[in-house]
Structure 1
Amino acid sequence: MSTIGPAPTELGSDRQVRDVVLVGGGIMSATLGALLTKLQPEWSVVMLERLGELAGESSGPWSNAGTGHSGLCELNYMPDASDSTKAESIGRQFHLSRQFWASLVADGDLPAPASFINPTPHMDVVFGERDVAYLRERFATLQRSPLFSAMQYTEDPEMIRQWAPLMMDGRTDTSSMAATRYEAGTDIDFGALTRALARSMTDRGAGVHLRHEVMGLSRGPDGLWTVTGRDLNSGRRFRIQSRFVFVGAGGYALKLFQKAKIPEICGYTVFPIGAQFLRTDNPAVVAQHEAKVYSQASVGAPPMSVPHLDKRVVDGRSSVMFGPYATFSTNLLRHGKLIDFFTTIRFRNIAVLLAVGIQNLSLVRYLLAELLASRKRKFAQLQRFYPAADPSDWVLVEAGQRAQLIKPDRRRIGVLTFGTELVTAADGTIAGLLGASPGASIAPSVMVDLLATCFPDQCQQWEPTLYELMPGLAAPVDADEHTVDRNLDHTGRLLGVA
């Protein structure tokens, strides 16, 4: 049996009732586990992961761009340049994430922060009069918020060259360009962070079981959940009872919720979208790019496909990656099966799925074009950002598989969403996450919402510890510019990104 931390009892013969079972070994489960073992160290907590490693799916460092999503550069969070509501909400949530991680570093629960977080400015660069006008208005809107008041804006090609020299190398047409820059952005290795959070769990007595695939969830008349599955090493079945279950299984979350038969997901379905990135480790290229640079998505492209040229730091080594290029598969996980998507189809979600397909024909056309695109065409997209790019420097890498959430809608029958949704049963005994970005970046605040919903009786006694871990829960992180700067300085010093 593969385990992390103290060797627990063989699950197949274990009759102990657990307080919490976490299904999936990604950033969400690890965040909740780290929180709960901090708040209630005497509780028995078990994490079950089907792969032989943690963060082997979407939380892995090369399965995502590592952007500390905080509303600084993600243009898809502000389709209306005059409305910063979503960008501000995500910005506040990310400040809570910084506070949580910084508190764990200060307490010795997380290792040297450079192992998972590094300072990386966040930028936008747009081309053409229409997008320049949009970015100019977006900047003016964000300047009114304390969260973004330190953002810079320019339409001067020479200033853009100083901010992102790689993007101007070999560029002959510099007309109609604009850029914004925020110095205090970050690059995050969510794989390393996941493993560090899991280690903090096991240090406080939790058990982490690798190669344990959960295949069933059922609730008995006594109110306990029975979690069943298979130990993939021995082939033996296991059965665990738990008072609470968290489904952090990524693309498999909907399948497990369906097995649990909770009415809250009636009519829900998913649309799987994968991604690829071009990546270079050439030191001469990497040395010229110290930012994450986002731009506008192509017409018909899903919001998750906004093109970006990113500095990455993984295992202490810097790289640059560009993408994403959308892919399609009926797998719901990168290490899943082609039949996965079809196993989620039910009578009550067929009409929802068909309605979304009809409403999103431009997305279908976009995916077909992406699937048929040659490497030469993909490289041409990179050259819009980096005109002097040499094809021999870049390799195409597979990223994570995302199961985008489709929900029933009274007016439109069904609607495709691109965010993250916390799903909880009415009695609060089971919860989980559906959807994708910006989930990993705002995991701590999502888990605080989960605690308030699922553990209302304990939340009052947990408040002092929660406020110590995340002071922004007690007082607004964006009350004014001084508050924002003070939080950035405090967390930045502890996280080594100041």
Structure 2
Amino acid sequence: MKYNEHILNPDVVLIGSGVMSANLGALLKKLSPEMSIQVYEVTDDVAEESSNGWNNAGTGHAGICELSYTPHREKDGSVDVSNVIKIFEQFEYSRQFWGSAIEEGMIDNPKEFINPVPHLSFVHGADWVDFLKARYEGMKAHHFFSSMDYSTETETIGSWSSLLTDGRGDVPIAATKMDAGTDVNFGNVSRKLLDWLNNQDKCAVATGHRVIDITKSAKGWELKIKNLKTGEIRNNACKFVFVGAGGGSLPLLQKSGIPEAKGLGGFPIGGQWLVCDDPAIVEKHQAKVYGQPADAAPTMAVPHLDTRILDGKKTLLFGPFANWTTKFLHKKGSFADLPFSVKPDNLSTLIKIGLTNLDLVKYLFKEGTQSMDDRIKTMQIFYPEAKVEDWKLIDGGIRVQAIKKTDGEAGIVHYGTEVLTSADRSISALLGASPGASVSVHVVLDVVKKCFPELLETEEGKARMKALIPVWDVDIKKPENADYYRETAAKATAQLGL
């Protein structure tokens, strides 16, 4: 696909070419075919940072297996599963939009970006077994999770993945499993949507271009853009800006000068994966398995052993292992990113975070100084017979944890995806981390509702949205809408070839 095209004075500028910008651009163009849209991306290709297949776990986050979404048991022993129900619903928006995009010919070959992979939760130790049982009972009662299985039997769990049980001792174990889980290459779905957008009238994608300044104007925003290959500086103007630049969002928000960005800071955390492509080992594990969180670990560092399907090849990934960095972007970041992000309005917040999150700092130092043998020992909690010679260590992406003032107190966002929008609704920016990519369609739909409400006020607009995301105006969490959920979900499953 040929990129580097420009639209002068477009209606919308999308900064960053990840899954958020890709979905927002495609959704806006389908709702308003006359809209002009410009995408700017700093790398030489699209979706090369956090959305790249090797820079994330590729989990279709639907709340099925991630224990961090249900972190506590109540006093009566039950587990509050409202959060996983919400996440499941939000991922369904993504499935249905991508399914509609297949049906309407916007994108093709769904197996290049989404494949069925069972999702498992796996725990060890009596207390965690009790926790998982309570979690299972809470989830199984809802129609989203009616097909979930639970077992404490070694033989049964071994049939789900023999790597989990071969060579394991007598410690109590338990697991839940749903076959409806997915492995998603968010980079590939982003590329497909952006290729489609780039071919639409009055739309363009420019790679190798960095937005270096952003200034409010009477009509919207004035942007200064640098061509990273030629050094040429050009100006552009638009009515609305979406900053979906991952770790690059914070510096741009600070330059925008909007009051909503005051006091905002960022804490970058790098990631590394252990990778195995030995066919004999890979064949024994067809699942994404999430386990118990490590003490002081951020949400994104909860360990998991994953089947990945990347570039048509099946591999196994284990991790992530966090490491310390001052860069905000993996490929186009600078070690000066963190120091330069410190401003008078966020200095006190950052200092307080440093003082109140010493356990996290210690955790990052420990993770970053581990040997390969140390990492294999961590993996052996999942896969007792793991051997160092079967695995290699690779660098993953970088996540910038949003740091903000909350009710006068400093707070760090360990979980959740947020969108910050200015009071005049002329600029929105993505903050936060997991489960962002999975729930990206739900996130950008909220941007449309808030910043482009006119697109959904007419009967024609509502009909267009209904065709794209059939459940957008129905609360499929409610028991009375269970049949409608099953009907629309089955259609999306068929469209996506799952």
TM range (shorter): over 0.9
Say yes or no: does 1:232 pair with 2:228. Answer: yes
Q: How far 1:342 sits from its partner (Å)?
A: 1.3
Distance across 2 between alignment mates of 1:468 and 1:240: 33
Q: How does 1:165-184 map to 2 (within 5 A)?
A: 165-171=162-168, 173-184=169-180
- Of residues 333, 353, 358, the one that matches 2:355 is 358
1:282-322 Cα deviation digits (max 9, x unpaired): 11111111100000111111111111000000111100100
Question: 1:151 aligned to 2:148?
Answer: yes
The answer to whether the 8 Å contact 1:278/1:394 transfers is yes
Paired AA for residue 488 in structure 2: N
Contact 1:477/1:487 (CA < 8 Å) preserved in 2? no
- 2:315 pairs, out of 311, 314, 319, with 319
Checking the alignment, whether the CA contact within 8 Å between 1:27 and 1:59 is kept in structure 2 is yes
Query: Does 2:302 align with 1:298?
Result: no
Instruction: Quickly say closer, same or farther: Cα 1:300–1:315, change in 2 above 3 A.
Output: same
- What secondary structure does 2:14 align onto? strand
Instruction: Compare 235-244 and 453-462 and name the one that shifted more.
Output: 453-462
SS of the aligned residue for 1:385 comes to coil
Q: CA deviation at 1:188?
A: 0.2
Q: In 1, Cα distance between the equivalents of 2:252 and 2:301?
A: 27
Matches within 5 A, 1:434-453: 434-453=431-450
Name the count of aligned residue pairs: 487
1:476 Cα shift?
2.3
Contact 2:31 2:455 in 1 (8 A): no
Q: CA deviation at 1:414?
A: 3.6
Task: Report Cα offsets for 1:159-186 as digits up to 9, x if no partner.
Answer: 0001111222232x14310000011000
Q: 1:17 aligns with which of 2, 5, 9?
A: 9
Hey, what does 1:58 align to over in structure 2?
50
Secondary structure in 1 matching 2:55: coil
Work out the CA distance in 1 between the residues paired with 2:98 and 2:271.
Answer: 28
Pick from 392, 397, 404 the counterpart of residue 394 of structure 2: 397
Work out the CA distance in 2 between the residues paired with 1:96 and 1:320.
Answer: 27
How far is the alpha carbon of 1:409 from its aligned partner?
2.0
Match of 2:88 in 1: 91
Aligned counterpart in structure 1 of residue 257 of structure 2, from 255, 261, 270:
261
In the other structure, the counterpart of 1:338 is 335
User: 2:278 maps to which residue?
Assistant: 282
Structure 2 residue identity aligned to 1:482: D
- Paired amino acid for 2:437: A
CA displacement at 1:411 relative to structure 2: 4.9
Separation in structure 2 between the aligned mates of residue 278 and residue 447 of structure 1, nearest angstrom: 32
**CA distance in 2: counterparts of 1:369 and 1:129, whole angstroms:** 27
Compared with structure 1, are the counterparts of its residues 284 and 415 closer, same or farther at alpha carbon in structure 2 (3 Å cutoff)? closer
Q: Deviations over 1:359-408 (max 9, x none)?
A: 21211111111112111101111122112223222110111100001110
What is the TM-score normalised by the length of structure 1?
A: 0.95
Q: 2:124 corresponds to which letter in structure 1?
A: F
What amino acid is aligned across from residue 440 of structure 2 in structure 1?
A
Aligned residue for 1:133, secondary structure, equals: helix
Structure 1 vs Structure 2 CA RMSD: 1.5
Larger deviation: 86-95 or 389-398? 389-398
- Aligned partner of 1:23: which letter? I
Say if 1:51 and 1:212, in contact at 8 Å, map to a contact too.
yes
Pick from 35, 41, 46: which aligns with 1:49?
41
Q: Distance in 2 between matches of 1:58 and 1:192?
A: 12
Q: 1:76 Cα shift?
A: 0.6
Question: Which amino acid in structure 2 is aligned with residue 495 of structure 1?
Answer: L
CA distance in structure 2 between the partners assigned to 1:168 and 1:417 by the alignment = 31
| C-alpha deviation, 1:55, in angstroms | 1.0
Over 4 Å off, 4+ runs: none
Q: Point out the more displaced range, 452-461 or 206-215.
A: 452-461
Query: Which stretch shifts more, 418-427 or 141-150?
Result: 141-150
| CA deviation after TM superposition for structure 1 residue 23, in Å | 0.5
Q: Distance in 1 between matches of 2:242 and 2:116?
A: 32
Unmatched tracts of structure 2, length 5 or more: 74-78
Pick one of 373, 378, 391 that aligns with 2:375: 378
Question: What amino acid is the match of 1:390?
Answer: K
2:106 to 104, 109, 112: 109
Aligned 8 A contact 1:352 1:415 in 2: no
Aligned-partner Cα distance in 2 for 1:297–1:417: 13
1:249 to 245, 248, 252: 245
Change in CA separation of 1:164 and 1:200 when aligned onto 2, cut-off 3 Å: same
Decide whether the 8 Å contact of 2:471 with 2:485 is kept in 1.
Answer: no
Q: 8 Å contact 2:247–2:400 — kept in the other structure?
A: yes
